[in-house]
């Protein structure tokens, strides 16, 4: 009996999107046809169900890629042209140039181009380098009239994001596409048809932004910029308030994940909500959890890791309500598939890759590791088995401290997150209680910083490495998926030589393809 059919689907849709992106539409179509042919040829074998699921998801991936390829908004072909873009602000941030000058960055939907709604579509990233001083009621540095949810018009010159300048270098265009953004604009002027009225989603986004920034401003006044930067990173995944050398230490230690809202944070918050909810965790709790995590995801900018974790937690709540068994791996495969159908370019986003890589290797490796070692470092070992080769390939370093330092860092994060939630509630109830909780959280953040700096040991525990060959990396992860999964181990135990030989052949072919 097939334990996790979505494994085949998730692997198939990922492979199809990769083939489509690397070798074009024809290769993607050929891969989809081959998947169907293989399913029919093996229709009488025990693997038939898995092959048919893989074929179905291959075609789903092809359809998603094809749709995104032909549905290119006309605004993306207007490079170098001046345009007036009308749309809704989705995200507002104050950023700094390399020279230290501040500028406003807006992510917004393009609902009309030069007044033509038929020519619109997609999202656009706007950078405004003009003077923001004097605009009314600034919130987190962002003027009130430019907060998320507002409908505005922006005039400026459109640009095309730069792609790879050299092989294996960062592809900014692909990165933006993974976020659903197809064009850049240097904004020169903003126009507001109505400064106050907007629809419910716009008002909701705006109010959530005000709540978040208002809370963080009070934290900064009470405990300083450093604590505010840590809380902004831990609770909302924004690293703008963290010093560059501190951020580098977190990255080298393999602990930077606590500064990007992920399954760890969502899981802690979900556990707190379950504790606070008295009585039966029924439909009311499920609806409350859905609404809460939607608002929290909006505050965190709907990053891939937040969306993945929030949907998986919602599935857990749904399983509890319906008295069904929750399977971590199956939930991850389901969410991965849904996110890739919505935007296949997300597959090439580092945050997306690391988020799913961590949860999948954790679910695959933990049963295997617990047979050998069941101590406090077991979960950290399981995650590092999946993450370390990826980090070595993409960021060219390997950390000896990652396995050990993650344990105290995650422990402290498990205290900071619920205390920060309490602090946010206290801020609305009683000022002295807020000040006490803020001082406590500030002390924990300093402790977190000191532990991280100590284990970084000024770079002594971190080694620069060259990127491993892509063929070796591909073989490693395919092998890990097969030999660490329950299905793979059962095949080995039952000595299914033909399937093992087929897997080895597929692994070799896939590795050489890179």
CA 98 to each of CA 102, 103, 117, 241, 249: distance values in angstroms, whole numbers, following the listed order: 10, 11, 36, 15, 20
pLDDT exceeds 50 at position 512: yes
pLDDT exceeds 50 at position 1: no
Does 165 fall in a domain? Answer: yes
Q: CA geometry: angle at 335 spanning 47 and 206, to 5°?
A: 170
Does 154 fall in a domain? Answer: yes
Residue 26 burial (CB count, 10 A): 10
Q: Are residues 12 and 92 in the same domain?
A: no
CA 279 to each of CA 282, 284, 290, 421: distance values in angstroms, whole numbers, following the listed order: 9, 11, 18, 21
Q: 37 by DSSP, 3-state: which?
A: helix
Q: What is the DSSP letter of 300?
A: T
Q: Are strands 462-464 and 397-399 parallel, antiparallel or unpaired?
A: antiparallel
pLDDT greater at residue 441 or residue 122: 441
The structural domain count of the chain equals 4
The two structure tokens encoding residue 69: 């390829």
Confidence band for 378, pLDDT divided at 50, 70 and 90: confident
Please answer whether residues 6 and 331 qualify as being in contact, where contact means their C-beta atoms are separated by less than 8 angstroms: no
Does 392 fall in a domain? Answer: yes
| 151 Cβ contact list (under 8 Å, min separation 6) | 86, 87, 88, 89, 193, 194, 198, 202
The two structure tokens encoding residue 27: 């290769």
Does 203 fall in a domain? Answer: no
Distance (Å, whole) CA 5 – CA 385: 24
The two structure tokens encoding residue 109: 């939907």
Does 420 fall in a domain? Answer: yes
Residue 514: name the closest of 167, 65, 39, 69 by CA: 167
- In this prediction, residues 325-348 reach a mean pLDDT of 90
Give the chain's length: 514
Q: 116 by DSSP, 3-state: which?
A: strand
Residue 269: name the closest of 231, 249, 296 by CA: 296
Distance (Å, whole) CA 480 – CA 491: 14
Residue 113: name the closest of 87, 91, 89 by CA: 87
Distance (Å, whole) CA 298 – CA 292: 10
Q: Which residues pair with 107 in a beta bridge?
A: 91, 125
Residues 259-273 as b/e (b if ≥16 CB within 10 A, e otherwise) read bbbbbbbbbbbbeeb
pLDDT exceeds 50 at position 477: yes
pLDDT exceeds 60 at position 4: yes
**Where does a domain end: 23, 39, 71?**
71
Residue-level pLDDT at 346: 92
Task: With residue 492 as reference, give the H or E element that holds it.
Answer: helix 486-493
Q: Are residues 232 and 357 in the same domain?
A: yes
Q: Are residues 414 and 430 in the same domain?
A: yes
pLDDT greater at residue 139 or residue 513: 139
Does 318 fall in a domain? Answer: no
Q: What is the pLDDT of residues 41-58, one digit of tens each?
A: 887 777 778 788 889 999
Residue 14 burial (CB count, 10 A): 18
pLDDT exceeds 90 at position 341: yes
Q: What is the DSSP letter of 144?
A: G
Residue 362: name the closest of 339, 389, 381, 334 by CA: 381
Residue-level pLDDT at 243: 85
Query: Could you tell me the CATH number of the domain that includes residue 128?
Result: 2.40.50.140
Q: What is the DSSP letter of 4?
A: -
Does 202 fall in a domain? Answer: no
Q: Are residues 188 and 48 in the same domain?
A: no
Q: Are residues 66 and 78 in the same domain?
A: no
Q: What is the pLDDT of residues 281-318, one digit of tens each?
A: 788 888 998 999 999 988 888 887 788 888 988 898 88
DSSP, residue by residue, 363-415? HHHHHHHHTT--STTHHHHHHHHHHHHHHHHHH-EEESSHHHHHHHHHHHHHH
3-state helix, strand, coil in the chain (%, to 5): 65, 10, 25
CA 401 to each of CA 60, 260, 377, 409, 429: distance values in angstroms, whole numbers, following the listed order: 41, 20, 12, 12, 41
Residue-level pLDDT at 343: 92
Task: With residue 334 as reference, give the H or E element that holds it.
Answer: helix 328-342
Confidence band for 487, pLDDT divided at 50, 70 and 90: low
Q: CA geometry: angle at 146 spanning 145 and 149, to 5°?
A: 95
Please answer whether residues 116 and 78 qualify as being in contact, where contact means their C-beta atoms are separated by less than 8 angstroms: no
Q: Are residues 350 and 443 in the same domain?
A: yes
- In this prediction, residues 30-39 reach a mean pLDDT of 90
**Structural domain containing residue 54:** 1-71
**Where does a domain end: 71, 89, 106?**
71
**Where does a domain end: 133, 162, 197?**
197
Residue-level pLDDT at 96: 81
Name which of 157-161, 162-166, 443-447 the model is least confident about. Answer: 162-166
Q: Are residues 483 and 459 in the same domain?
A: no
Q: Over the chain, what is the mean pLDDT?
A: 83
Q: Are residues 397 and 444 in the same domain?
A: yes
**Of the segments 309-313, 338-342, 381-385, which one has the largest average pLDDT value?**
338-342
Q: Are residues 109 and 184 in the same domain?
A: yes
Q: What is the phi-psi region of residue 118: left when phi exceeds 0, alpha when psi lies from -120 to 50, beta otherwise?
A: alpha
Q: Are residues 253 and 128 in the same domain?
A: no
Does 332 fall in a domain? Answer: no
Q: Are strands 181-191 and 123-128 parallel, antiparallel or unpaired?
A: parallel
Q: Are residues 224 and 366 in the same domain?
A: yes
Q: Are residues 22 and 85 in the same domain?
A: no
pLDDT exceeds 60 at position 507: no
Residue 458 burial (CB count, 10 A): 9
Phi, psi of 411 (to 5 degrees): -60, -50
């Amino acid at each position: 009996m097939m334990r996790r059919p979505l494994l085949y689907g998730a692997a198939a849709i990922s492979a199809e999107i990769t083939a489509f992106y690397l070798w074009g539409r024809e290769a993607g179509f050929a891969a989809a046809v081959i998947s169907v042919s293989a399913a029919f040829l093996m229709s009488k074998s025990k693997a038939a169900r898995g092959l048919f699921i893989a074929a179905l998801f291959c075609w789903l991936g092809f359809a998603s890629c094809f749709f995104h390829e032909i549905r290119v908004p006309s605004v993306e072909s207007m490079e170098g042209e001046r345009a007036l873009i009308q749309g809704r602000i989705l995200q507002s941030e104050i950023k700094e140039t390399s020279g230290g000058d501040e500028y406003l960055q807006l992510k917004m939907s393009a609902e009309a181009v030069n007044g033509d709604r038929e020519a619109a579509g997609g999202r656009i990233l706007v950078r405004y380098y003009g003077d923001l001083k004097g605009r009314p009621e600034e919130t987190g540095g962002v003027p009130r009239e430019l907060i998320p949810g507002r409908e505005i018009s922006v005039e400026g010159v459109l640009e095309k994001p730069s792609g790879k300048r050299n092989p294996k270098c960062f592809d900014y265009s692909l990165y933006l596409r993974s976020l659903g953004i197809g064009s850049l604009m240097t904004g020169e002027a903003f126009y507001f048809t109505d400064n106050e009225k907007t629809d419910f989603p716009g008002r909701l986004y705006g109010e959530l932004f005000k709540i978040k920034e208002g809370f963080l401003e009070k934290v900064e006044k009470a405990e300083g910029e450093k604590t505010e930067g840590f809380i902004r990173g831990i609770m909302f995944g924004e690293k703008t308030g963290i010093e560059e050398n501190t951020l580098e230490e977190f990255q080298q230690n393999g602990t930077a994940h606590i500064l990007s809202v992920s399954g760890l944070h969502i899981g802690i918050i979900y556990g707190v909500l379950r504790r606070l909810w008295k009585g039966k965790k029924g439909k009311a709790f499920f609806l409350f959890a859905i609404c809460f995590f939607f608002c929290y995801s909006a505050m965190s900018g709907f990053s891939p890791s937040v969306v993945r974790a929030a949907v998986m937690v919602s599935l857990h709540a749904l399983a509890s309500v319906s008295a069904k068994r929750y399977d971590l791996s199956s939930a991850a495969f389901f969410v991965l598939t849904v996110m890739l159908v919505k935007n296949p370019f997300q597959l090439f986003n580092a945050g997306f890759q690391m988020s799913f890589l961590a949860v999948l290797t954790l679910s695959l490796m933990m049963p295997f590791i617990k047979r050998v070692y069941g101590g406090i470092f077991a979960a950290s070992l399981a995650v590092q088995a999946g993450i370390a080769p990826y980090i070595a390939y993409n960021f060219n370093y390997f950390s000896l401290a990652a396995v050990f330092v993650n344990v105290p860092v995650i422990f402290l994060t498990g205290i900071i997150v619920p205390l920060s939630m309490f602090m946010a509630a206290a801020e609305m109830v009683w000022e002295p209680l807020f000040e006490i909780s803020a001082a406590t959280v500030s002390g924990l953040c300093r402790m977190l910083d000191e532990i991280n700096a100590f284990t970084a040991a000024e770079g002594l525990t971190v080694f620069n490495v060259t990127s491993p060959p892509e063929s070796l990396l591909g073989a490693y992860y395919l092998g890990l998926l097969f030999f660490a999964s329950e299905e793979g181990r059962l095949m080995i135990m039952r000595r299914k030589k033909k399937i093992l030989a087929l897997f080895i052949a597929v692994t070799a072919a896939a590795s050489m393809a890179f």
